[in-house]
Structures are given as C-alpha cells and as structure tokens.
Amino acid sequence: MTYVTAVLRTDEPNLMHQAVEEAVRLLREGEVVALPTETVYGLAANALDPAAVTKIFEAKERPTFDPLIVHLPNKDQLDLVAEVPEGIALTVKKLVERFWPGPLTLLLPKKPIVPDIVTAGLPTVAVRVSSNGIFKRIIGALDKPLAAPSANRFGSISPTSASAVLSELDGRIHLIVDAGASLYGLESTIIKIEPGSPKPLITIVRPGPITPDDLKLYGKVKVAIRSVIDGPSDAPGQLASHYAPKTPLRLLERPSDFIPEEGKRYALMSYRGEEKDGYLNLTEWEEVMMLSPGNGKLPEAAVRFFYVLRALDKLGVDEIIAEPLHEHGMGIAMMDKLRRASVRYAS
Ligand code: AMP
Ligand code: MG
C-alpha cells in the first residue's frame, strides 16, 4: 500500500494542536504514525491492537522476531502491561521515580494484555515513558500504551529528525509529526533487573543515554552488550546489521592501521576534528564531519551521531572511516553501534 505522507509541524501552538489531533485520530483508527521522542523518532501504533502493531512491522519491513518497546502514557500504567516481581519491586519503583519520563527502558515479565506480536512471543515486555512534550500530549490524549520502535526501515540508521523519517518511510505511512531534532539522538538504554545481595543486579542489554554511572546508585551494574556473533539474547534487536549505513563503514581504532587504497574515496567521521588525534591528515578525505568540535563532548556527539552517519552515507564514497570515541558515558552506546556497523562489512 502506498500513502501520501504528511509532515505536520508543531512549532506554533495552532499547528501543534492540529498535529496532535490528527495523530490521535489516526492512532485511534489503528494506523501507525511517526512521532518524536526524546531519543529518536518512533513509529507508533496502539500496542494493545495486534492489527495496528502488524502495520509497524510492515512499514519498517522489520522481521517479527524483533520485539518492540511499549511506551506508557504515565508511570501508573506500568501494572497494566507488566508484572513487577516482588524481589525487584523496590528497585523498579526507585528507577521509575528517578528516570521516568526519560530514556530508560525496563524489561519485565509481560501481562497477557500485551499481544505476542509486540514482544515477539517473549515472556518479557520492554517498557518506558517518554519525556517528549509532543509525544506526551498524543499518548496522553489516546490514554493507551503505544508500541514504538525507531521510525526507520529495518537495519537502517535511526532517524533523529522528521526529514530523516521521511527519507526512510515516505509513502509507507500517513503522518510524521515534526518536533525538531531529537534531544538525545540515541535509542533508550534497556535494562534487566534481578534481585541480588547486597545490591540488586542491573544489566544493561542495550547501552544508551542513561549510563552505567547514572544507574550505579540503584544496584550493581553490568554492561552485557551482546557480541554480534552470539546467539539470541535478551535484546534480540541487537543484530549486527542494526544502525549500519549503506556505505561500508570502518571503525579505525588506531590511525596507524589505515592504508588508503589507490583511487578509493573516503569520508571521515571525526569525534572532535583535532589534528592531534591523528586522523585528519591520514588521506585526502572527500569529506570530514565532526561529532563534537572542540574538546569533544559525548552528549553532543550523541545528538549528531545518526545525523552525521546519514549525511556521510549520502556522499557516495567508497568507505566511511570512523574515529573511536571515549568508551564511557554515552560513548559506550556509540562505540557499540560503530562496531556493529563495521562488522557487517568485516569479511
Ligand atoms: P527499537 O525501538 O527499534 O530500538 O527496538 C526495540 C528493541 O528493544 C528491540 O530491538 C530489542 O532489542 C529490545 N526489546 C524490545 N522488547 C524486548 C523484550 N521483550 N525482550 C528483550 N528485548 C526487547
Ligand atoms: Mg531501531
């Protein structure tokens, strides 16, 4: 099915009201709508309506073994979709108090009301509450949980602007609600919580804007990013092909490893554009794009990360070379994504 995809702005009050109204109308009718969140743009549908959720998988061409995150209108609806085991109830309560609304997703045992298509048949459901003002208005008016994975075709780069969504899904959905650039620019941190002594165990299964440091007050934090060659894990969406541009990408851990090939065109994704980092003069780059010029700040790099990858992908060069980032804070998530993107072309 092809649609005329409308992009509705929200930067003036009357436009915002119209956009919210139209989004709510479509969602009530069981349609999918691309919505802004504070992480990346999401492709939303009523999470309790299997037919509506099916349309997400169709529009994204996403395999149905890859489960979706369920967004709640508010914290109080957690009990509607998830079971909170007694052994972790206090920790869940504290985490929810501290981080919701915000970019932290919890994996919890699901309640029967959540259709199997949402969780890919898994016994757990991934839940969060978004802090984006427009998203909150829409989900609040609807007053239903929304399933909302990133609004890109499966395997492609997550969109952090309405125009990026349009380039991914034009003609495949009715509506994109435009609320400007995403605040964080990286998908939510996904965690699993288990009872433990003396502290509960918090396992990060997908790194994101909420960092191990942010979580350590609430338990013993382990980062268990699935290696790309492992089998199925708690975060099945963590496939190697995720986040990959179409252009081959290489994470160049040491500048000295680079031997440019004759006649090939290269673009550089630089962390901060500093000559002393050793990358700027490696070759005659077709293009150099910086994530965070100056001293290099990881949250700023995160905001630009998918935008820069997308822009470099459009150049039509032979290879994108990526500088490594500091592997702490939000750098953990970006390095994970760069490794996944480069492994795809590794052999
Ligand atoms: P996306 O919203 O596109 O970033 O994708 C959501 C991701 O959340 C999936 O690809 C999985 O990695 C993860 N996820 C969602 N639901 C579950 C679940 N029930 N168990 C484990 N991981 C999940
Ligand atoms: Mg995604």
pTM recorded for the entire structure: 0.94
Number of independent structural domains in the chain: 2
User: Is residue 238 lining ligand 1, measured as CB closer than 6 Å?
Assistant: yes
Report how far residue 260's alpha carbon sits from residue 192's, in angstroms, rounded to the nearest whole number: 43
> Where a domain ends, among 123, 152, 178?
178
Distance (Å, whole) CA 301 – CA 66: 27
- Give the CATH number for residue 332: 3.40.50.11030
The pLDDT tens digits for 279-313 are: 999 999 999 999 999 999 999 999 999 999 999 99
The residue to mutate among 32, 68, 105, having the most atoms of ligand 1 within 8 angstroms of its beta carbon, is 68
Query: How far is it, in rounded angstroms, from Cα 337 to Cα 295?
Result: 22
Considering the domain architecture, whether residues 168 and 258 belong to the same structural domain is answered as no
Verify that 255 and 341 share a domain, yes or no.
yes
Q: Is residue 69 part of a domain?
A: yes
Mean pLDDT, the chain, integer: 94
Q: Quick check: is 18 in a domain?
A: yes
Say if ligand 1 is within 6 A of residue 107 CB: yes
Do 172 and 271 reside in the same domain of the chain? no
Mean pLDDT of 17-23: 98
| Ligand number with the minimum distance to the CA of 69 | 1
Residues 25 and 144 in one domain: yes
**28 and 150 fall within a common domain:** yes
Tell whether the model's pLDDT for residue 107 goes beyond 90.
yes
For ligand 1, say whether the CB of 236 is within 6 Å of any of its atoms. yes
- Could you tell me which of 344, 346, 323 has the C-alpha nearest to residue 335? 323
pLDDT digits (tens, 9 = 90+) for 335-347: 999 999 987 654 4
Domain stop point among 159, 178, 197: 178
Q: Is 125 in the pocket of ligand 1 (CB under 6 A)?
A: yes
Is 26 inside a domain boundary? yes
Cα 314 to ligand 1 centre (Å): 28
**Tokens encoding 214:** 């942010």
Ligand 2 centroid – CA 152 distance (Å): 7
- Looking at the structure, tell me whether residues 37 and 170 fall in a common domain: yes
Residue 24: which CATH number? Answer: 3.90.870.10
Query: Would 131 be classed as within a structural domain?
Result: yes
Q: What is the pLDDT of residue 345?
A: 52
Ligand 1 centroid, distance to 61 Cα (angstroms):
15
The answer, yes or no, to whether any atom of ligand 1 lies below 6 A from the CB of 235, is yes
Instruction: For ligand 1, pick from 206, 239, 243 the residue to mutate: most ligand atoms within 8 Å of CB.
Output: 206
Kindly report which listed range (36-45, 136-145, 233-242, 264-273) carries the lowest average pLDDT score: 233-242
Q: Is 66 in the pocket of ligand 1 (CB under 6 A)?
A: yes
Query: Using CA atoms, how far apart are residues 173 and 155, in angstroms rounded to an integer?
Result: 18
Identify whether 256 is part of a domain: yes
pLDDT at residue 229 tops 50: no
Residue 103 lies in a domain: no
pLDDT interval class at 225 (50, 70, 90): confident
Q: Place 233 in a pLDDT band, splitting at 50, 70 and 90.
A: very low
Q: Is the dihedral of CA 107, 119, 174, 80 positive or negative?
A: negative
**164 and 267 in a common domain:** no
- pLDDT tens track for 142-189: 999 999 999 999 989 999 999 999 999 999 999 999 999 999 999 999
Q: Which domain holds residue 326?
A: 249-346
**Averaged pLDDT for residues 72-95:** 98
Q: Are residues 126 and 253 in the same domain?
A: no
Predicted confidence band of residue 234 (pLDDT cuts 50, 70, 90): very low
18/132 same-domain check: yes
Rounded CA gap, 276 and 193, in Å? 42
Stronger pLDDT, 81 or 229, i.e. the higher one = 81
pLDDT band at 231 (very low <50, low <70, confident <90, very high): very low
**Residue range 31-75, pLDDT digits in tens:** 999 999 999 999 999 999 999 999 999 999 999 999 999 999 999
| The ligand 1 atom nearest the CA atom of 237 | 10
Residue 82 lies in a domain: no
Cα–Cα distance list, 163 to 156, 160, 194, 256 (Å): 15, 9, 40, 37
3-state helix, strand, coil in the chain (%, to 5): 30, 20, 50
Q: Which residue's CA lies nearest to atom 7 of ligand 1?
A: 237
For residue 227, what pLDDT is reported? 56
- Residue 201 domain flag: no
Last residue in a domain, options 178, 193, 224 = 178
